A and B are shown apart, each in its own frame.
Chain A
């Protein structure tokens, strides 16, 4: 086909597929592990407000194992292409995975079993991996003038990541030493910076690029991204200081600022989607649309908590809405789309005939995953609101079945990709 000319632009050069896909496959496996652990510890979900055990371990398998793992894999692959910049040495990308993946597993084991050595070792590996990723991404973003809205969200995300990592280490050490003056406040700030700061800003920034691209809609104006990133940063700074000071009403105010940012964000995405060339919204929107609904819902729950609503039900509900409702729905929705998309792209750049997206995508497991994930959220939320362990357990079981469906989709994708490559080998030069 178009021979080697494709690979001549250094700035355009893609990473080998083994780099992003090692992150994605790990995310899919840990996705299954997270739901399994939540199923095992379902009786501890009700009233959960932190503390070691299977729920905290499951939560971190999701946040680090699925959300951060996917975000880093996707950022390594997409940012250099979108920004026209080289990412950095391949060994550093691989090192990120070698630190983050085992670190997440060891840390989750330490959390589930309250094993101090595993907690410390896992946290150290995780922070090491996140630090390498942070440096790589910061180098890529430094001096970039394109896509200023997206880039500013990415900077807020990276600044938050630094805070999350430091607080995470402090919290882990505090489990065995108890030297932090207010463990709960530090944990709350860790959760806010991780959920809304790091992952939240990456999700907002990526959405401005990916959603219009996948629906072939109008570009989101840079001015929108600049405004939402500034509002998000303002909300995080105000909220962060207020959490440490224990000033609930100010935390609520920060939540309101966050709501303004989210409203503007969703309005811009709705406009892009409305202007789309593609008539039909693909299956992954069955996850993205609920995710976008649950993002403001999580902020409202957080505001209620900050204003003194009883935390026994609201705290676990807030965690569910933020982590499983918004972020996990959004990230697995994006995974549904980018895995076959990147596979098709990689099959084309090596000179062979590109594999068709429609042929790579097995629709049934995707639809199954979306349905089971939605049901899982409903059951767990109902369980939390009605103090029913049975409903939480059922929800976790449905979530596990959904995670297995997503894993099955990835296995089938790999099989179809391999079959295509065998049938259409790249031309020899």
Chain B
């Protein structure tokens, strides 16, 4: 998977994907339902060189990672607050995360920078992947910076390890399938 070509602009296949009507998962999530099965069904119907476009309230890194395993390249753009558009193209999955200015750590967690801090998405990682990815990120930070974690659930087991490293959870916002935690140094 190529994550090094982030400055090269949109991929050539984007022209194909722009013709596709986006599938908006935001109302589904707002209703408290998980769109994952529906997305998998849609992806399964996409032929080679075909495209799928998804609108989401956040950068759906776990979905992008999974679809990359099924041969989809993806290209993401933040259109507005709580509105991301992700273009998927079935071509072998060689350009996963292109254009989203995302770094992918060894555990497969995507991290990117936004106005409120350094975000890391650890959803769909097998345990203890989320904990290891978060701790690896904060241990590698030089300056005082807020880390925003996107998790599937409240990571209770993380609390002792954070405290041991002089970090604390400043606040938590729980949404369906996206528990966000703002981590700060003590």
A residues in contact (CB < 8 Å) with B: 1-3, 5-6, 8-9, 11-12, 14, 81-82, 84, 147, 209, 212-213, 216-219, 221-222, 277, 341, 344-345, 348-349, 353-358
Contact A213 B128, beta carbon cutoff 8 Å:
yes
Contact B172 A147, beta carbon cutoff 8 Å:
no
Contact A277 B136, beta carbon cutoff 8 Å:
yes
Contact B172 A209, beta carbon cutoff 8 Å:
no
Contact B163 A6, beta carbon cutoff 8 Å:
no
Which residues of chain B have C-beta atoms less than 8 A from A344's C-beta?
A: 159-160, 163
B126 at the interface (CB under 8 A from A): yes
Contact B128 A5, beta carbon cutoff 8 Å:
no
Task: Identify which of B71-79, B91-99, B110-118, B148-156 touches chain A.
Answer: B148-156
Contact B171 A2, beta carbon cutoff 8 Å:
yes
- Max chain A C-beta neighbours (<10 A), residue from B131, B139, B157, B164: B157
Contact B171 A5, beta carbon cutoff 8 Å:
yes
Contact A9 B179, beta carbon cutoff 8 Å:
yes
Contact A355 B163, beta carbon cutoff 8 Å:
yes
Complex Cα distance A1/B172, Å?
10
**Interface range for B:** 20 to 34
Contact A84 B152, beta carbon cutoff 8 Å:
yes
Tell me the residues in window 127-149 of chain B with beta carbons closer than 8 Å to chain A beta carbons: 127-129, 131-132, 135-136, 139
- Nearest-neighbor residue (CB-CB) of B131 within chain A: A213
Contact B129 A219, beta carbon cutoff 8 Å:
yes
B2 at the interface (CB under 8 A from A): no
Give min CB distance, B174 to chain A, whole Å: 6
Contact B172 A5, beta carbon cutoff 8 Å:
yes
Which residues of chain A have C-beta atoms less than 8 A from B128's C-beta?
A: 209, 212-213, 216-217, 219
Contact A1 B168, beta carbon cutoff 8 Å:
yes
B173 at the interface (CB under 8 A from A): yes
Which residues of chain A have C-beta atoms less than 8 A from B54's C-beta?
A: none
B39 at the interface (CB under 8 A from A): no
25 CB < 8 A contacts A-B: A2-B169, A5-B174, A9-B154, A12-B153, A12-B154, A14-B156, A81-B157, A82-B127, A84-B153, A147-B126, A209-B128, A213-B157, A216-B128, A218-B129, A219-B126, A219-B127, A221-B126, A277-B139, A344-B159, A345-B160, A348-B160, A354-B160, A355-B163, A357-B164, A358-B164
- Max chain B C-beta neighbours (<10 A), residue from A14, A345, A358: A345
B33 at the interface (CB under 8 A from A): no
- Nearest-neighbor residue (CB-CB) of A3 within chain B: B171
B residues in contact (CB < 8 Å) with A: 107, 125-129, 131-132, 135-136, 139, 152-154, 156-157, 159-164, 168-174, 179
Which residues of chain B have C-beta atoms less than 8 A from A349's C-beta?
A: 156, 159
Complex Cα distance A218/B160, Å?
19
- Nearest-neighbor residue (CB-CB) of A9 within chain B: B154
- Nearest-neighbor residue (CB-CB) of A8 within chain B: B174
9 A-B pairs closest in CB distance: A344-B160, A354-B163, A12-B154, A348-B159, A213-B128, A5-B172, A219-B126, A2-B169, A212-B128
Contact B132 A277, beta carbon cutoff 8 Å:
yes
- Nearest-neighbor residue (CB-CB) of A220 within chain B: B126
Known: A1-B168, A6-B154, A9-B153. A217 touches B160 (CB 8 A): no
Which residues of chain A have C-beta atoms less than 8 A from B168's C-beta?
A: 1-2, 353-354
Give min CB distance, B37 to chain A, whole Å: 12
Choose among A2, A3, A217 the residue that contacts B132 (Cβ–Cβ < 8 A).
A217
Which residues of chain A have C-beta atoms less than 8 A from B172's C-beta?
A: 2, 5-6
- Nearest-neighbor residue (CB-CB) of B172 within chain A: A5
Known: A2-B169, A12-B154. A348 touches B163 (CB 8 A): yes
Complex Cα distance A235/B95, Å?
45
Which residues of chain B have C-beta atoms less than 8 A from A6's C-beta?
A: 154, 169, 172
Give min CB distance, B183 to chain A, whole Å: 10
Complex Cα distance A9/B171, Å?
14
Complex Cα distance A212/B156, Å?
16
- Nearest-neighbor residue (CB-CB) of A221 within chain B: B126
Contact A216 B131, beta carbon cutoff 8 Å:
yes
Give min CB distance, A347 to chain B, whole Å: 9
- Nearest-neighbor residue (CB-CB) of B132 within chain A: A216
